[in-house]
Amino acid sequence: MGNHAFFITGTDTGIGKTTVGCALSAALSERGLKVGVAKPVETGCAPDGDGNLIPADAERLRYFSGCAEPLDVICPCRCREPLAPSIALRREGRTLALAALGATVRGVIARHDVTLVEGAGGLLVPVIGSVTFADLAREWRLPVVVVVGNRLGALNHAQLTVGWAKK
Protein backbone atom coordinates (compact mmCIF):
# COMPACT_ATOMS: atom_id res chain seq x y z
CA MET A 1 0.00 0.00 0.00
CA GLY A 2 1.59 3.28 -0.98
CA ASN A 3 0.48 6.89 -0.90
CA HIS A 4 -3.23 6.28 -0.52
CA ALA A 5 -5.35 9.10 0.81
CA PHE A 6 -8.97 9.61 1.80
CA PHE A 7 -11.10 12.66 2.54
CA ILE A 8 -13.25 12.35 5.68
CA THR A 9 -16.46 14.33 5.70
CA GLY A 10 -19.68 14.17 7.65
CA THR A 11 -23.36 14.79 7.24
CA ASP A 12 -23.10 17.62 9.77
CA THR A 13 -20.72 19.35 12.11
CA GLY A 14 -19.98 17.57 15.39
CA ILE A 15 -20.95 14.24 13.82
CA GLY A 16 -17.77 12.31 14.70
CA LYS A 17 -15.38 12.92 11.79
CA THR A 18 -12.40 13.39 14.09
CA THR A 19 -13.30 10.35 16.20
CA VAL A 20 -13.53 8.18 13.08
CA GLY A 21 -10.31 9.69 11.71
CA CYS A 22 -8.50 8.98 14.98
CA ALA A 23 -9.76 5.39 15.10
CA LEU A 24 -8.85 4.70 11.48
CA SER A 25 -5.42 6.30 11.76
CA ALA A 26 -4.61 4.43 14.98
CA ALA A 27 -5.71 1.11 13.43
CA LEU A 28 -3.65 1.72 10.28
CA SER A 29 -0.64 2.79 12.33
CA GLU A 30 -0.88 -0.35 14.47
CA ARG A 31 -0.67 -2.37 11.25
CA GLY A 32 2.72 -0.84 10.55
CA LEU A 33 1.70 1.80 8.02
CA LYS A 34 3.15 5.30 8.09
CA VAL A 35 -0.03 7.36 8.55
CA GLY A 36 -0.35 11.00 7.65
CA VAL A 37 -3.19 13.25 8.72
CA ALA A 38 -4.35 16.65 7.58
CA LYS A 39 -7.02 19.02 8.75
CA PRO A 40 -6.33 21.76 6.19
CA VAL A 41 -8.77 24.22 7.75
CA GLU A 42 -10.04 24.23 11.33
CA THR A 43 -12.34 26.82 12.82
CA GLY A 44 -13.36 27.30 16.43
CA CYS A 45 -9.72 27.22 17.58
CA ALA A 46 -9.06 28.52 21.07
CA PRO A 47 -5.97 30.64 21.71
CA ASP A 48 -3.20 29.45 24.00
CA GLY A 49 -1.42 31.73 26.49
CA ASP A 50 0.62 33.30 23.70
CA GLY A 51 -2.40 33.95 21.49
CA ASN A 52 -1.65 31.10 19.07
CA LEU A 53 -4.78 29.35 17.81
CA ILE A 54 -4.80 25.68 18.80
CA PRO A 55 -6.54 23.27 16.39
CA ALA A 56 -7.89 20.65 18.81
CA ASP A 57 -9.13 18.26 16.10
CA ALA A 58 -5.79 18.37 14.26
CA GLU A 59 -3.92 17.73 17.51
CA ARG A 60 -6.07 14.65 18.20
CA LEU A 61 -5.55 13.33 14.67
CA ARG A 62 -1.78 13.80 15.00
CA TYR A 63 -1.70 12.05 18.37
CA PHE A 64 -3.68 8.96 17.35
CA SER A 65 -1.96 8.58 13.98
CA GLY A 66 1.57 9.03 15.30
CA CYS A 67 2.09 11.47 12.41
CA ALA A 68 5.36 13.39 12.86
CA GLU A 69 4.37 16.32 10.64
CA PRO A 70 4.43 19.72 12.36
CA LEU A 71 1.02 20.98 13.44
CA ASP A 72 1.42 23.93 11.04
CA VAL A 73 1.59 21.43 8.17
CA ILE A 74 -1.26 19.25 9.44
CA CYS A 75 -3.46 22.31 9.97
CA PRO A 76 -2.13 25.33 8.07
CA CYS A 77 -5.32 27.41 8.33
CA ARG A 78 -6.89 28.10 11.72
CA CYS A 79 -9.69 30.47 12.64
CA ARG A 80 -10.99 31.50 16.02
CA GLU A 81 -14.74 31.59 15.36
CA PRO A 82 -16.62 28.30 14.90
CA LEU A 83 -18.02 29.24 11.50
CA ALA A 84 -17.72 28.06 7.92
CA PRO A 85 -14.11 28.79 6.92
CA SER A 86 -15.09 31.31 4.24
CA ILE A 87 -17.06 33.34 6.79
CA ALA A 88 -14.49 32.99 9.58
CA LEU A 89 -11.67 34.06 7.25
CA ARG A 90 -13.67 37.03 5.94
CA ARG A 91 -14.51 38.18 9.48
CA GLU A 92 -10.81 37.96 10.38
CA GLY A 93 -9.86 39.90 7.24
CA ARG A 94 -7.86 36.98 5.88
CA THR A 95 -7.78 34.97 2.70
CA LEU A 96 -6.57 31.49 1.84
CA ALA A 97 -4.29 30.48 -1.02
CA LEU A 98 -5.87 27.28 -2.30
CA ALA A 99 -2.83 26.34 -4.42
CA ALA A 100 -0.57 26.49 -1.37
CA LEU A 101 -3.09 24.55 0.70
CA GLY A 102 -3.24 21.85 -1.98
CA ALA A 103 0.56 21.67 -2.16
CA THR A 104 0.75 21.22 1.61
CA VAL A 105 -1.82 18.41 1.59
CA ARG A 106 -0.17 16.69 -1.40
CA GLY A 107 3.16 16.88 0.46
CA VAL A 108 1.70 15.07 3.47
CA ILE A 109 0.21 12.43 1.17
CA ALA A 110 3.54 11.92 -0.62
CA ARG A 111 5.41 11.32 2.66
CA HIS A 112 3.04 8.65 4.03
CA ASP A 113 1.68 5.24 3.12
CA VAL A 114 -1.88 6.39 3.83
CA THR A 115 -3.22 9.83 4.67
CA LEU A 116 -6.55 10.87 6.13
CA VAL A 117 -7.65 14.40 5.25
CA GLU A 118 -10.49 15.75 7.37
CA GLY A 119 -12.83 18.52 6.27
CA ALA A 120 -14.84 20.83 8.50
CA GLY A 121 -18.59 20.46 8.70
CA GLY A 122 -19.86 18.79 5.54
CA LEU A 123 -18.95 18.59 1.86
CA LEU A 124 -20.77 21.75 0.85
CA VAL A 125 -19.25 24.01 3.51
CA PRO A 126 -17.55 26.93 1.74
CA VAL A 127 -13.81 27.08 2.31
CA ILE A 128 -13.11 30.33 0.47
CA GLY A 129 -15.55 32.14 -1.78
CA SER A 130 -17.71 29.54 -3.49
CA VAL A 131 -15.09 26.76 -3.21
CA THR A 132 -16.37 23.96 -0.98
CA PHE A 133 -14.76 20.95 0.65
CA ALA A 134 -16.39 18.86 -2.11
CA ASP A 135 -14.42 20.93 -4.63
CA LEU A 136 -11.18 20.34 -2.72
CA ALA A 137 -11.75 16.58 -2.41
CA ARG A 138 -12.45 16.45 -6.15
CA GLU A 139 -9.42 18.61 -7.05
CA TRP A 140 -7.14 16.54 -4.80
CA ARG A 141 -8.67 13.33 -6.26
CA LEU A 142 -9.47 11.87 -2.86
CA PRO A 143 -12.09 9.18 -2.31
CA VAL A 144 -14.60 10.35 0.29
CA VAL A 145 -15.42 8.64 3.59
CA VAL A 146 -18.78 9.84 4.92
CA VAL A 147 -19.41 9.85 8.68
CA VAL A 148 -23.13 9.67 9.49
CA GLY A 149 -24.79 10.27 12.85
CA ASN A 150 -27.19 7.81 14.40
CA ARG A 151 -30.25 10.01 14.64
CA LEU A 152 -33.50 10.88 12.97
CA GLY A 153 -32.89 12.17 9.45
CA ALA A 154 -29.59 10.34 9.08
CA LEU A 155 -30.62 8.39 5.97
CA ASN A 156 -31.64 11.55 4.14
CA HIS A 157 -28.46 13.38 5.17
CA ALA A 158 -26.33 10.40 4.16
CA GLN A 159 -27.95 10.09 0.74
CA LEU A 160 -27.60 13.81 0.07
CA THR A 161 -23.92 13.76 1.05
CA VAL A 162 -23.13 10.64 -0.98
CA GLY A 163 -24.97 12.15 -3.96
CA TRP A 164 -22.71 15.22 -3.84
CA ALA A 165 -19.61 13.10 -3.27
CA LYS A 166 -20.30 11.26 -6.53
CA LYS A 167 -20.41 14.47 -8.59
Long-range CB pairs of 51-55, under 8 A, 24+ apart, other chains included: 53/78, 53/79, 53/80, 54/78
Catalytic residue flag (residue 39): yes
Instruction: Name 3's bridge partners.
Output: none
Q: How far apart are CA 11 and CA 125, in angstroms?
A: 11
Active-site option among 34, 39, 166, 167: 39
Q: What is the separation of C-alpha 28 from the centre of its chain, rounded to a whole number of angstroms?
A: 18
Q: Which residues are catalytic?
A: 39
